[in-house]
Amino acid sequence: MRIVLRTSKWAVWARRLGSLAVPLTVLPVLMHREGFLDSANFLVVALAACAVAGLAVLVALIALVRLWQTGDRGWDRALSGLVLALACAAPFAWYGYLAWHYPVVTDMATAPRNQLPLIFEPDTAAMPPPRLLPPDEQGRRFPNAATRSYPLDPVQLFALAERLVQSRGWEIRLRREPGGPDGAGRLNARILTLPGWREEAVLRVFPAPEGAAVDMRSASIGAPHDFGSNGNRISEFMVALDNEVTTFLRDNPGIDEPVPLEAEPSPDVESESG
């Protein structure tokens, strides 16, 4: 008598759902990054992909238990479905952790936002009201996200800040060198995150009593949650600017010292033409 081993239907469905989760996870991200899918629809598709990936993990685990109990065929299908499902579920688990770890915020700044305006574009015009943190909580969670003052000329500080922006690959949309009535300079740069969300960073460099100061704003465009990106971006940039200024002052000693005024000739000394 020959024993016929069947292929577990659970294993078959685990492989099918795991294979389906891959394009549902990857393609919307690519379309979102390229602008073929707007943020609202991307969020819906991403939630659907998360559900499919989670279901695939559950079915694969059930399939493995059933295979152990019945001895049916399908271990390769169940395991491959589990691997695919876990690979697709991992990004959602990571962003779920970030959503739990960070407060729901979409806009952070070190100064009043009317001093750091976003560029008026179609995507910013449709933005919902920003979700903000109280100043005391912002200072507690992101202590480095604060205004910086340096013993430098505004033009020098603006050049250092612009170099940092360029080194990060941010797309500069507006550039205004220090000058004008208030002597301030401004940079607006657009950032594309890995899932395709657009975020905008605004830098303002202005004269200060002992040199120049810089404020920064970072805002998410069309996203319901920034997952901590805006606060971390400002903190990281300000720390990097601290290091840049420290290096600049070390390599250029005496640049922050005031230029001595030329001595006026004594009235008792006659000019050569006299």
The 10s digit of each residue's pLDDT in 198-257 is: 999 999 999 999 899 999 999 999 888 999 999 999 999 999 999 999 999 998 876 655
**Does position 13 have pLDDT exceeding 80, yes or no?**
yes
8 A C-beta contact, residue 21 and residue 90? no
Measured CA distances, 127 to 135, 195, 220, 224 (Å): 22, 18, 9, 10
∠ Cα 51 194 79 (to 5°): 40
CATH topology of domain 107-251: TATA-Binding Protein (3.30.310)
pLDDT cut 90: percent of the chain above it: 70
Domain boundaries, the chain: 9-101, 107-251
* H or E stretch covering 2: none
Residues 105 and 133: their CA atoms lie apart, in Å, by: 7
Give the pTM: 0.83
8 A C-beta contact, residue 99 and residue 32? no
Residue 274 has a pLDDT of 38
Residue 256 has a pLDDT of 59
∠ Cα 71 72 78 (to 5°): 105
**Chain mean pLDDT for the chain:** 88
Who wins on pLDDT, 6 or 19? 19
Mean pLDDT is lowest, of 30-39, 80-89, 93-102, 247-256, for 247-256
Q: What angle in degrees, to the nearest 10, is found between the helix axes of 154-167 and 229-251?
A: 120
Who wins on pLDDT, 50 or 133? 50
Helix (H, G, I), strand (E, B) or coil at 31: helix
